[in-house]
Amino acid sequence: MKFLPLVWTALWHRPARTVFTLLSIVAAFVLFGSLQGLNAGFDKAVVDQQLDTLITDSRVPGGPAMPVAALREIEELPGVVLATQRATLIGWYQQPKNTVAVIAADAAKWFSIRPRLAVATEQMNALLATRTGMLATPALQSYYGWKIGDKIPLQTSLPKRDGSRSWTFDLVGTFDVSDNPGKAYLSVINYDYFDAERTSEIGTAERFLIRIADPNRSARTALAIDGLFANSSHQTRTRSEKEIAQSRLKQIGDIRFLTNAVVGSVLFTLLFVTGNTMRQSVRERTPEFGVLKALGSSDGGILLLVLAEALTLCVLAAMLGLGIALAAAPLLEEVIGVVEFSWRVIANGIFVAGLLALVSAVVPAWSIWRSSVVDALDRR
């Protein structure tokens, strides 16, 4: 502890250089924290998907909708616990720019298969008891100023049996994503009402959701489901939720590789900055180290002093940068939606900062350690 004032004074031997290096490290670790938080968010999004939930879609994107009657055969397959359908109604509220996506489902089964969606029993019952009922998340209600009891008119491109393209729903309750509340913009209506009123693709759905008893048999069960449609005009592709999430990440490129490449490039450049700062600082103060040696300080003590200087500079600046990244995480999550700024990200950042300090200080520290008292005092 008695060397801390000496370390701190040494850091400010050249204030302008120290400030520049400090800002460079802070900026680098703001980027490090943000991108590593993005990586952690993508990992969490994949991990959170359920292995015991299968998703059945048309094998060809945009292909024909699947007949809901096939759910009976799916539920009779070994290992299938529950199966339900999902259709989507896209409309707009008041103005064309106010797009609303509505999920039409057998609500009781759909929420059972979607345990991450929290809905109160009384609100579920209100939806089931109201043919034109709707449940909406708090975020969606807040965005459009809806409240329970309102009638929600949506204009759509899908005509009803009476020829109107206006669908009106009664907002009877709410639900939310339990592990990420207040972020989802979702609404659910009764499939039976939707199917009875529409004029096209009656008795069909664009997606089936299936709960299975044994996640280890998900691949076998998926093949069995697709086999039911193999010789029909509605060929399907069934995958687990986790497989779909991983596939989507691959479709938009290797995010982890890209973020790690950016972070690696920044840290590699930063190594030159910090290394040059430490080299110049040690060279300018070589006579001072010579005095310390002459007064009895050991070579090891001098070596540790230089390393402590580098660690103080890098770790403090890195903690400041990570703190800024942590504070900015909610804003980044609003844009991307998958940021997970955990303590592991912070710990990794501090470890990298320490490693950066050691690498940047090892060469100048070694040169001081090898120099004699006379050489150090004579160096200008």
Q: What is the mean pLDDT of the chain?
A: 79
Q: What tens digit of pLDDT does each residue of 96-144 get?
A: 889 999 999 999 999 988 888 889 999 999 999 999 999 999 999 999 9
Same domain, 166 and 25: no
Residue 1: band (very low, low, confident or very high) from pLDDT cuts 50, 70, 90: very low
**Residue 11 sits in the same domain as residue 109:** no
Two structure tokens written together for 217: 């048999």
Q: Give the three-state DSSP class for 161.
A: coil
Report the largest interatomic distance among the alpha carbons of the chain, rounded to a whole angstrom. 101
Confidence class for position 377, pLDDT limits 50, 70, 90:
very low
- Count of residues making up the chain: 380
**Does residue 186 have a pLDDT over 60?**
yes
Beta strands 99-105 and 80-92, pairing class: antiparallel
- How many other CB atoms are found less than 10 A from the CB of residue 176? 21
Report residue 168's pLDDT band, with 50, 70 and 90 as the boundaries.
very high
Is position 56 within any domain? no
CB-CB contact of 311 with 351 (8 Å)? no
CB-CB neighbours of 28 under 10 Å: 26
Please give the single-letter amino acid code of residue 79. Answer: G
**Residues of the chain with pLDDT > 90: what percent?**
25
Cα-based angle 191, 192, 195 (whole degrees, multiple of 5)? 80
> What pLDDT was estimated at residue 376?
45
Domain identity same for 118 and 187: yes
Q: Is residue 266 part of a domain?
A: yes
Strands (E), 186-311: 187-190, 204-205, 207-212, 236-240
Q: Are residues 104 and 190 in the same domain?
A: yes
Range picked from 62-71, 187-196, 343-352 for highest mean pLDDT: 187-196
- Based on the structure, what is the number of domains in the chain? 2
Quote the tokens at residue 4: 């801390």
pLDDT of 373 above 80: no
| Beta bridge partners of residue 176, listed in sequence order | 118
* Alpha carbons 156 and 90: distance in angstroms, whole number: 6
pLDDT score of 360: 80
Question: Of the candidates 76, 86, 131, which has an alpha carbon nearest to the alpha carbon of residue 111?
Answer: 86
Number of helices followed by number of strands (H, E) in the chain: 14, 12
Least confident of 4-8, 92-96, 329-333, 341-345: 4-8
Residues 28 and 71 in one domain: no
Q: What is the DSSP letter of 118?
A: E
Looking at residue 269, its amino acid is T
* 374 — pLDDT class (breaks 50, 70, 90): very low
Asked whether residue 180 is assigned to any structural domain, the reply reads yes
d(CA 306, CA 1): 15
Residues 271 and 369 reside in one and the same domain:
yes
Last residue of a domain, one of 187, 214, 241: 214
Alpha helices, H only, 337-372: 343-370
Please check whether residue 223 lies inside any domain of the structure: no
Between residues 316 and 343, the one the model is more confident about? 316
Whether 259 is in a domain gets the answer yes
At residue 327, the 3 state secondary structure works out as helix
| Within-domain flag for 336 | yes
Query: Are residues 105 and 200 located together in one domain of the fold?
Result: yes
pLDDT digits (tens, 9 = 90+) for 203-249: 999 999 998 888 788 788 888 988 888 877 788 888 877 666 556 55
Does 143 share its domain with 282?
A: no
In a domain, 221, yes or no: no
Instruction: List all residues 6 or more positions away from 355 whose beta carbon is below 8 Å from its beta carbon.
Output: none
Same domain flag for 102 and 129: yes
Mean pLDDT of 139-155: 93
Tell me, yes or no, whether 162 and 196 share the same domain.
Answer: yes
CB 300 within 8 A of CB 347: no
260-290, pLDDT tens digit by residue? 777 788 888 888 888 777 777 666 665 555 5
Shared domain for 207 and 329, answered yes or no, is no
**270 vs 262: CA distance, rounded Å:** 12
Q: What residues form DSSP beta bridges with 205?
A: 66
d(CA 136, CA 184): 10
Residue 18 has pLDDT above 50, yes or no: yes
- Identify residue 336 by its one-letter amino acid code: I
Is 295 domain-assigned? yes
d(CA 312, CA 322): 15
Task: Identify the helix (H) or strand (E) that includes residue 263.
Answer: helix 255-284
The domain in which residue 147 lies consists of 61-214
Residue bearing the bigger pLDDT, 375 or 81? 81
- Whether residue 75 has pLDDT greater than 70: yes
Rg of the Cα atoms in the chain? 31
- Return d(Cα 51, Cα 217) in angstroms, integer: 10
Q: Are residues 68 and 30 in the same domain?
A: no
